[in-house]
Chain A
Amino acid sequence: MEMDRESGKLEQIVSQFRSKILHVVLDSRVPSLHRHQQQDSLSLSRVRKTDKWFNLVLGDRPPALENLNFSLRNLLDPMVIDIILVRHASCSSSVDNLYSPSAAAAAAGPSTETVIERWVVQYDCPRVFASPSGADASVSYKKIYKKCILLLRSLYTQMRLLPAYRIFRQLSSLNQTYNFDIVYKVSSFSHPFSREEEDGMKEYSFAPVEALPGCLCVSVTYHATLSDFNLEPLVSLPPKIITDYVGSPTTDPMRSFPSSERGAHATSFPFRGLRPPSSAPFQRPHSWSSGFHRGIPPTKTQSLAGSPPVYRTSPKPYDITSPPTDLYGNRIQNHRVSILQQATAYDEYKLSPPFSPSASPSTPTYLSGANPLLTRHCSETAPVTIPLPPTGRSNRYLSPNSSDPSRHSLPPLSPRSSKHDTSSQESPSGIRSYRKIEALRAGESPSGLSNLYSAPKVVRDSKDDSGRFSGLLSSSGSPRIGFSRSSSRLSFQDDMDDCEFSCPFDVDDVDVSDSSSQNTENKRSSEFTAQSNLVGKKSQDAAVGILVHMLRTAPPLRQDSSCYSTRSLRAEYEGGVGIASGFFMPRKTADALEELNSYREMKDLLLSKSGTQVRKEGMK
């Protein structure tokens, strides 16, 4: 009886010792598990039952760990923990990769896995033994326990001194994403290293702890240096505020944007829909595109990719999204971890805060926002980021202040995207939650990704309807500033399209004299367009264009000839930009001459006003 009780104690010590080591190793090597533990700030203050073992408070054990303990419950089997470095190959740069993880995975190319550390925990026990009994046993177990504590202390310290800790810290950093990932594999057996793998690896064995009848042995085989693995951060271009985009009030609307010297075919006319100018590689990033271009030569920032990763990442001035390469890590991990672990990891995924449904809507805006996938480190494209003004200045950029015409540096938001102020502040957390989602790929099932990637698909589906596009963003709660700008750009373009923009002289569908229309948000963008074209650098061509438009839109004389009068024309004109009515068909020559004179006067007035007209929208 006593022997059973004592052997039970020993079994408990050995079992808990293995669990503790596993917890320490995974917490110091797998970013996803480490972050999951850190998120629960409330839990950090309390001491759990598991923390008390070996007097080392580590926080919540990942659920995967519990399942592993179950699957490796034969204490006489070794516990082998492989820390695997997954390096992602260069990927193709396609907008579709944004919304289709499978496409991204297919396009990304094969990834390379290397075991960079192998921890082996084993209880070496002879088959025939005599366990101590009585008082000796009690003293013995206290000594064993004390020695286990000492071993764990030194293991904990050593985890932070080995080379893999640096890349773990890099991956844990939220400010940077990399072309690699760390996953783990726990098993009761180990595939021996090949000669190639053994080269460059060192071994360290902790002093065994006598735990009669056997002894606890812990050893580690690790790569002495990871500099050969070409681990790089994914670089993106710094954010750039574009002020001379098509339609900017500071830009001559008739001006083309020549880029012929760069071999591109820029156009000042907005194009319909969201087709990126794939055939015309633009050097100048356009805020209204999806942000992804082909053929743009690499910039200086991309040359940084060759430099070794920095140990301590400082906050960068720009955000870098993590590519959906986690899919790789996740897929690989599915092969690695036990089924029990996988299932439990999935449960963890479903329950943990980053994967709550409310978090997922924020991800599409992040995906296609400031620095999406443009930041891929690829040879064939230069990623372009949609500029992200800081939150503090967001109001200035996003609320078209009609009282200050000079501040119309950006197009107005589409109606629903005016909720930027609060939602843009949420976006960092959206990014963080997205990054957590990315990072937590390790050890988790692929089905957990469905929440993450279903949202982008929704975005893509709604892309064709620009009006709903921005609405979708704002309803999600965290539209990025750059993104909402692009959506407003879309609505702006559609308004332009609605105006039958077919020749240089057809400028705008103007109706600024109708003050009631200004109350309608839908009119605002077209009104802004009209005003921006009228005021400032108004050319004679534009005036003629207006005239021609008046001629075209004038109702037939026979319908309401009685309405025609020079006076009415004048009145309308003085109210703003006049709209012709009853232009045609004076019955007599005198009437015709009179009409001609009135038009001459109109023309003169138009021309005189073109240089002195005050921006009416400033008054509104």
Chain B
Amino acid sequence: MNCEVCQLKELEVEHFEIREVLRCILHTIVFHRALGLVRPKDVDLELFEITYVQCGDVELEKKIDEKIDQFISWVEKHPNKKSQICLSFYEVKSKQPSWFTNKTERLYWEQWYANLNVTQQPKQHSSKSHLTKVVVDPGESANEERSSRRAMVEASLREVLFQIIKFVNEKKDHVPPISEGVIYFPYEITMPRKFQ
């Protein structure tokens, strides 16, 4: 079975947006891979006018939040760097037992890469206001800039979600059969090599 890989479109986000963006992306992917009995839970993002869907599993939500925390702490230590977070789905195969090993093997059948470029917010140009004759309210222009930037991020996030939907629709054959009583396929979230 081959491993399908999906590289999601890169998103330029600010530090405070990381949590919401990653929650949205990771939960959306997992919802499409939680093929057991689920009660979907709609979640509205606070920063953007987007509603995504969770599969409603509490343990899963905790795990995802933990991984996002780890990601954020890494980003704080390495600012202004592009980073990835990888969500992989695998099957557990037991290896041929031998004297030395009785391991199980993970066969990855799908990997999703969310690419984030975490930027720092530019400083306000408020110091220049007193030099100009015409009194310009720096807050207004900053607000406009912020809202247009926010709209761009929202549009990009929406594109990423549509990208997920498209991928899920087009590639279905590699998905393993659903096991009885299992809600979602085994998964892992990693932060692979970081690059500039």
Contact = CB atoms under 8 A, between A and B. Distances in A.
Interface of A: 47, 51-52, 55-58, 142, 146-147, 149-151, 153-154, 156-158, 160-161, 165-166, 169, 206-207, 209, 311-312
Given A52-B37, A55-B35, A154 B165 contact: yes
Contact of B50 (A52, A142, A161, A209): A161
B7 to A, nearest CB: 19
A153 B172 contact: no
Contact of A160 (B32, B52, B177): B52
16 contacts: A55-B35, A55-B38, A146-B35, A150-B168, A153-B32, A153-B35, A153-B168, A154-B32, A154-B168, A156-B53, A157-B52, A157-B53, A157-B165, A166-B49, A311-B49, A312-B44
Contacts of B31: 153, 157
B39 interface: yes
Main SS of the interface on chain A? helix
Interface residues of B, number: 28
Main SS of the interface on chain B? mixed
B28 interface: yes
Contact of B177 (A56, A146, A165): A146
Q: Please provide the 7 A-B residue pairs with the shortest distance between their CB atoms, ordered closest to farther.
A: A57-B39, A207-B169, A160-B51, A311-B49, A55-B37, A154-B165, A153-B32
Contacts of B162: 158, 161
B35 A160 contact: no
A146 B178 contact: yes
Contacts of B169: 150-151, 154, 206-207
Given A165-B51, A207-B170, A312-B49, A158 B35 contact: no
A142 B178 CA distance: 9
B44 A147 contact: no
Contacts of A55: 35-38, 178
A156 B168 CA distance: 13
A55 B183 CA distance: 9
A242 to B, nearest CB: 37
A209 B165 CA distance: 15
B174 to A, nearest CB: 11
Given A150-B175, A311-B49, A157 B32 contact: yes
B145 interface: no
B36 A158 contact: no
Nearest to A47: B37
B40 interface: yes
A151 B172 CA distance: 9
A161 B44 contact: no
B55 to A, nearest CB: 9
B60 interface: no
A153 B165 CA distance: 9
A160 B158 contact: no
B72 interface: no
Q: Max chain B CB contacts within 10 Å: which of A154, A156, A165, A312?
A: A154
A158 B28 CA distance: 11
Contact of A57 (B35, B37, B50): B37
Interface in B18-37: 28, 31-32, 35-37
B37 A157 contact: no
Given A160-B53, A161-B158, A147 B172 contact: yes
Nearest to B53: A157
Interface in B140-183: 158, 161-162, 164-165, 168-170, 172, 175, 177-178
Given A146-B178, A157-B28, A56 B50 contact: no
A166 B42 CA distance: 13
A149 B35 contact: yes
Nearest to B42: A160
A69 B35 CA distance: 25
Q: Max chain A CB contacts within 10 Å: which of B36, B37, B170?
A: B37
A150 B35 contact: yes
A52 B35 CA distance: 11
B161 A161 contact: yes
B36 to A, nearest CB: 6
Contact of A150 (B38, B40, B42, B172): B172
Contacts of A150: 32, 35, 168-169, 172, 175
Nearest to A311: B49
Nearest to A58: B40
A312 B43 CA distance: 12
Contacts of A209: 172
A158 B165 contact: yes
B177 A142 contact: yes
Contacts of B36: 55
Contact of B40 (A47, A149, A156, A165): A156
A46 to B, nearest CB: 11
A106 B144 CA distance: 44
A158 B164 CA distance: 10
Contacts of B168: 150, 153-154
Nearest to A150: B172
A160 B31 CA distance: 14
B157 to A, nearest CB: 10
Contacts of A169: 51
Contacts of B170: 207
A157 B37 CA distance: 16
